[in-house]
Structure 1
Amino acid sequence: MARIRAPGDTVVGAGVLLAPRLVATCAHVVGDALGYDDVPDLAPDAELEVDLPFAPDGPLRRATVWRWWPPASDGTGDVALLQLDAAVGVAVPSTRRVPEPWGRPFRTAGFPPGREDGVWAAGVLRREQGSGWIQLSGAEEIGPGFSGAPILDECGDAVIAMAVAADRGDGPARSAYAIPIARVLAQAPQLLVNPYRGLAAFDEAHREFFFGREDELARALQVLDRDGLVVLVGGSGAGKSSLLTAGVLPEARVRGLRPARVRLAGVASRPAVITAFAAALTEAVAPDPSGRTRAVRTPDAVERWTLRDWSRVLSARPGDRTVVAGAVGPVGIGDARAVASGRLFVAVDQFEDLAFSSPPAAHTALEVIGLLVALGVRVGVTARWATFDDLLDGRSAPVVQRALVGVLPLDRAHLRAAVAEPAARVPGPSFDPGLVARIVDDAGDEPGRLPLVAVLLAELWDAADDGRLTIEAYARVGTVQGALAAAAEREWTAIPVGRRARARALLLAMTRPTETGFVRRPLPLAPLAPGQRRVLEALAAARLVVISPGAAEDVAELAHQSLIDRWPRLQRWLQADDAFLRWRAGLQAGVAAWAPTHDRDVLLRGAALDVAAGWATERAGDLRAPEQEFIAAGLSRRRRERRLRRATLAVVVVLGVSAGSLLAAGLDAPGDGLCGTGSAISAPVAPAPP
């Protein structure tokens, strides 16, 4: 609750905190504070003072009118929105619409004359009047000093209206009324936003809703100040982009730096890389409202370089004195350093996309980044683990490694903050008791839990019940697991038809059968073909897959076990391919034993090899290169063994024929020999002499 003060420290009314820098009150309260006899038709441009008496060390703020809706002849209006000169560090109360107000208990507080420390009142709501105001009953205390006060529901945890203490009619009877909170918020529809981003990254416009990465942000800023370069690394879906664009970039702006966001999508050559950086820098130093790059020639020519000028500087090699055209003569790199130093911040998001699609272009981008840092420009980069393994050389490796800041999965405390705090920064629904803890519990410890929680929260906000984020609404959107399954189906339908067969094979390759079903398994990236990698990158961008470092190389995994357990499409695939997947799981054990040494003794034989050959023919597209090589090695061994058997049989036949020929020749020959010996043995023996 806010307290509105007139000059001289006199309290004239109350207000409702709608945002960290926005307070709602009655227009007539503003008029009273500024000494007007009647509420003006136009918004006053004078300042007034606002404080928060019930907050610890309630800060005093100066305020000006931002939105103005004076009382109208039909009894409507009487709303003013005040912009504070600085944000207040307290939670914004939740708001709740009341479709049927009659008989609903409420409570409120005001600051009547002589009781400027506050007076509480309670009563019940009646129906709306023709003006749209709700009549308040049973709270005789409501009078001067209560105008603009929040009307709280019976639990005191949500604002349902804003009090208007007014005398209506010519008699002595006084009636109290309240403006439904929906009518107040209608004056600032931009406040009625969903603070949860779903699968989209947080950006600078949503920095007030970005929570959970305070520690990493502090480290990133420290590294940036020290080295001029910070590289945020982590698995896919860890929140690197949000940390850069909703954390580091806004802080750079606060420090007086001009942000430049480099877009490298589709870039594949050195000139294209240089042009992408040049376009971002030119727009940062000479923005054009029409969206076209322009050059404004002033004596400070460097700050208004054209795209061509930036390209010439950025394409220079260290030590060159590249000259560009200026209004007052030639300008070189030395002059660029003097102007750029401490004034620009360049954000390069998802560097791994460029490193994967075009390593030569990525090398050029690293050269440009090094040149920018040498010129005094601050640079922030996001990338997945191992992106730089094959890009860095002896000169660049120490610089990049020193600038690394790891973005690890959120622990429970920080995940809880990411869940609960955004809702406290906007008027709207509030969480049921225990729901935040349940969401954190249901998210588990899966590597892809942050994206799935983000999807759940975005849908839960839109499914709020009567201004509350309830357990029932949580069940309706399918809990954490069900929300992810629904999002997965939406993302699947967005995949081009021509890529779906390959995407299906990759998703199935990231599962492993068990006795009772299937679980996730990591899929090494190194053996994948370029076409498979492109599809996998698309699955990672859709948050169905996370890519993170494994023990020896980067691996891809399904974002969460619930994709297997709750996504009907994937379940149908697993059921249809159960026999193949279980066979392949056994095959992978053989591949793992064979791969290190290519030991022939572990190759498949006999019927097992026949089955493998059949699957290799039928499902060639579903087998990775090591699996195909393992089967091919077994078939090759079989062919060699068959050839050896045929050769051995041929030798035996030849030897047999040779032996037969020799035997036949011996039977036909006279004299000694086997036949002669036989004749001698069989000859009659002469009788002995008498």
Structure 2
Amino acid sequence: MYDKNESGRTAAGAGRGEHEDADTVLATGTVRLRDGHGDSAGTGFLVGDGLVLTCAHVVCDALGKPRDTEVLAGARVTLDMPLLAGPGAPGHDIEAEVAHWVPIREDRSGDVAVLRLLAPAPGARPLPTSLSRRLWEHGSRIVGFTRRSDRPVWQRGSLLGPAGKGWVQLSRADGQTVRVTGGFSGSPVWDNALGAVVGMIVAAEPVRDDQQAYMLHLGALADEIPALAEAFLVPTPFRGLEPFREEDADVFFGREEDTETVVRALRGERAAVTLCGPSGCGKSSLALAGVAPVMRRAGHEVVVVHCGRTSRPVGALAVELLELARQERFGPPRAIGVERVVTWLTGAGLADTVHRLTGSATTDLLVVLDQAEALLDLPEGDLTALLSVLFPSRRTAGMRVLLTLRADFIDAALSHERLGPVLKRGAVLPLTPMTREQLRAVITCPVDRVPGVSYEPGLVRRILEDAGSEPGALPLLSFVLRHLWEEQSGGRLRVEAYERAGGVSGALRRHAEEAWRKYVPSVTGTGFPDPAGAPEIPDPMETVTHARRLLAGLVRVVPGSGAPALRRVLTRAEAGEQRWRLAVLFAGKDERLLVLHGGAGTPESVELAHEALITAWPTLSEVVREDRDFLAARGVAARPGTLGKSGPC
């Protein structure tokens, strides 16, 4: 009765509820509204960050007002969470205020209210939701609280057809004796097939054997209060051009065997493992979302140093160790500066520094050096300092290092006077492009986990055929999958949206060129489209020059290597304000071609979202091709160890 995508799997519970039963999930997001006497006025449920959805008439009952009385925004109500506290035990009072209130209209529409919690509720989490309307005969469950009891009353039912005004009929399951009475209004309706909430109880017929209840579909609720639409949307499981992070582990698929191989190597006798592969094959994602969570579950602390973003990796390591030490389990944070930690690292070593910072005797630590090819540009002193910290003459048990390295730099790394011996003493593991079955998992598994969302028939097969087996196809695939998710309609990822985007090979190219046309002409003679305002650039050619120099500043060429161009971190000071304003536009949430770093008192910089843009973005490719000699000369002239960051761009 419910959709299957082309992998043959059915939609399961939303991410966090995948390993939890429905009752456990509902307990973390269902609330009870109480009146001035402490009795139940009805039910509600969390749908977003601090938002509670319930019926308008339940709010009136909680406030002791007639149901036809208007309730103004800001009115205070009291909630608790008896399911979270445990059956029979009253929950702690939670204060909330009315954010939206839509009264019951004469045609039975309306009757919706949104509350905002005034303080976080420990243990509370928003419930997974689905906007799917394919609900016929899906099993359901709801919960209510009668006025004089703290014990919940559960009812099993079956979802039937629409009953007008966004209502959906809800029939009691066979043999179910519980009827919907006062205290059920506002209850979330859990769809057993979708593993998510699909509506809210709003009305019921008089109590009798064939009683029917009615829910208001979430889509109708969003029509009443448009702000709810965003709360109902499930965040995209696809990262686009960004690598998967450790917190994305539950939506990272396709590299399970590779993860086991790397973890097995890290648990061996060698202190370092180098994960080597072509650009765009997913090395960073495997290290961060695959290996790091497994090592952490095995008892290792994990810190990550992004080598491509720093010219001082020992300092970056010190920053990450300070962040580690600030975690609550290590006690109150101490006022220790980065430079002091650097002194400890270079003097006493990594293990001793971890002991001092955490007060823990653990030596189980994994340091991930992402984009380790950037280490080749470090001055000898900085590289020697880093290697001395990570690979002391006397090895500490439990300390491990995982490096990710582009395959086209493996020869340079192995022949490097300082880095080469370290890599040779460790294990070098090749990471090959994904197989067709691995790519199928990347495409289908994240969608399988989300209730009510599926691919249109034939689309998965077409994406697989278009993705092929090219080493750099993964970021292009990830980009188009994110685009499809954001363009979904009616819970379907559509063929039409895929074709309009340009498919796997064309989506990123088309997106980047549209962004270029959108922003570069728009600033010509009229000023930057920035709400804060910006100086106008009267000369159109000056605008184009600034935009092209911005792109040139974001790439680097290793002189004499013959290797493809690499992305490069560009500081705000180096770019200048006119180019920085363009950088901010290209990094906006609608474009996501660039990534901004820093701010809030720290130096600001920008870089390409992924090196795949160097070949996929025609304008950028043209800049690299035409300016390659200049970019190589800049690499020679730049001070060693700055990754080409110094000097004008």
Instruction: Tell me the TM-score range normalised by the shorter chain.
Output: 0.5 to 0.7
Aligned match of 1:344 in 343, 354, 365?
365
CA distance in 2, matches of 1:178, 1:111: 12
Say if 1:97 and 1:180, in contact at 8 Å, map to a contact too.
no
Alignment of 1:250-649 (within 5 A): 250-265=293-308, 267-268=310-311, 272-286=312-326, 296=334, 307-316=338-347, 339=360, 341-356=362-377, 358=379, 361-371=382-392, 374-376=395-397, 377-385=399-407, 386=410, 388-391=413-416, 397=421, 400=424, 402-427=426-451, 429-489=453-513, 497-498=548-549, 527-528=560-561, 533=565, 542-543=609-610, 545=612
> Residue 192 in 1 paired to residue 234 in 2?
yes
Shift of 1:190: 8.7
Shift of 1:363: 4.0
**RMSD (Å) for aligned C-alpha atoms:** 5.9
Aligned match of 2:161 in 113, 121, 124?
124
Is 436-445 or 381-390 further displaced after alignment? 381-390
- Relative contact order, higher structure (CA 8 A, sep 6+): 2
CA distance in 2, matches of 1:373, 1:107: 67
Say if 2:31 and 2:79, in contact at 8 Å, map to a contact too.
no
C-alpha distance after superposition, 1:13-39 (max 9, x if no partner): xxx94433375659999879xxx9765
Shift of 1:201: 1.0
**Matched residue SS, 2:81:** coil
Instruction: For 1:193, give the aligned amino acid.
Output: P
Say if 1:342 and 1:378, in contact at 8 Å, map to a contact too.
no
Structure 1 residues 215 and 94: alpha-carbon distance in aligned structure 2, compared to 1, 3 A threshold: farther
Structure 1 residues 138 and 311: alpha-carbon distance in aligned structure 2, compared to 1, 3 A threshold: closer
Say if 1:151 and 1:163, in contact at 8 Å, map to a contact too.
no
**Matched residue SS, 2:303:** strand
C-alpha distance after superposition, 1:302-343 (max 9, x if no partner): xxx754443233224xxxx7899xxxxxx8999899956434
Aligned match of 1:202 in 244, 247, 263?
244
Shift of 1:410: 0.9
Shift of 1:491: 8.0
CA distance in 2, matches of 1:210, 1:463: 21
C-alpha distance after superposition, 1:547-572 (max 9, x if no partner): xxxxxxxxxxx86xxx5xxx77699x
Shift of 1:446: 1.5
Instruction: For 1:274, give the aligned amino acid.
Output: V
Is 404-413 or 484-493 further displaced after alignment? 484-493
Aligned match of 2:130 in 60, 77, 95?
95
Structure 1 residues 437 and 65: alpha-carbon distance in aligned structure 2, compared to 1, 3 A threshold: farther
Structure 1 residues 111 and 123: alpha-carbon distance in aligned structure 2, compared to 1, 3 A threshold: closer
Say if 2:205 and 2:212, in contact at 8 Å, map to a contact too.
yes
Shift of 1:399: 5.7
Say if 1:43 and 1:67, in contact at 8 Å, map to a contact too.
yes
Is 398-407 or 68-77 further displaced after alignment? 68-77
Residue-pair matches, total: 472
Is 446-455 or 243-252 further displaced after alignment? 243-252
Structure 1 residues 143 and 192: alpha-carbon distance in aligned structure 2, compared to 1, 3 A threshold: farther
CA distance in 2, matches of 1:343, 1:443: 39
Aligned match of 2:289 in 246, 249, 262?
246
Structure 1 residues 174 and 307: alpha-carbon distance in aligned structure 2, compared to 1, 3 A threshold: same
CA distance in 2, matches of 1:333, 1:135: 58
Shift of 1:453: 0.3
Is 374-383 or 336-345 further displaced after alignment? 336-345
Unaligned runs of 5+ in 2: 2-11, 34-38, 44-77, 105-110, 116-120, 144-154, 181-186, 520-545, 571-592, 594-606, 634-649
CA distance in 2, matches of 1:503, 1:322: 35
CA distance in 2, matches of 1:370, 1:503: 32
Say if 2:303 and 2:367, in contact at 8 Å, map to a contact too.
yes
Alignment of 1:11-160 (within 5 A): 17-21=13-17, 23=22, 25=26, 39=42, 41-45=78-82, 47=84, 75-76=111-112, 95-96=130-131, 106-110=136-140, 121=158, 123-128=160-165, 134-136=167-169, 144=178, 149-150=189-190
Say if 1:27 and 1:69, in contact at 8 Å, map to a contact too.
no
Structure 1 residues 126 and 402: alpha-carbon distance in aligned structure 2, compared to 1, 3 A threshold: same
> Residue 234 in 1 paired to residue 277 in 2?
yes
1:178 aligns with 215
CA distance in 1, matches of 2:461, 2:485: 16
C-alpha distance after superposition, 1:585-644 (max 9, x if no partner): xxxxxxxxxxxxxxxxxxxxxxxxxxxxxxxxx99959999xxxxxxxxxxxxxxxxxxx
- Larger Cα-atom Rg: 1
Instruction: For 1:237, give the aligned amino acid.
Output: G
Is 435-444 or 182-191 further displaced after alignment? 182-191
**Matched residue SS, 2:236:** coil
Structure 1 residues 372 and 351: alpha-carbon distance in aligned structure 2, compared to 1, 3 A threshold: farther
CA distance in 2, matches of 1:148, 1:361: 58
Instruction: For 2:560, give the aligned amino acid.
Output: P
C-alpha distance after superposition, 1:659-681 (max 9, x if no partner): xxxxxxxxxxxxxxxxxxxxxxx
C-alpha distance after superposition, 1:119-168 (max 9, x if no partner): 8846321222xxxx61428999698489755459xxx7797833649534
Is 69-78 or 237-246 further displaced after alignment? 69-78
Q: What's the TM-score, normalizing by structure 1?
A: 0.54
**Matched residue SS, 2:490:** coil
Say if 2:130 and 2:196, in contact at 8 Å, map to a contact too.
yes
Q: What's the TM-score, normalizing by structure 2?
A: 0.56
CA distance in 2, matches of 1:416, 1:434: 13
Shift of 1:426: 3.7
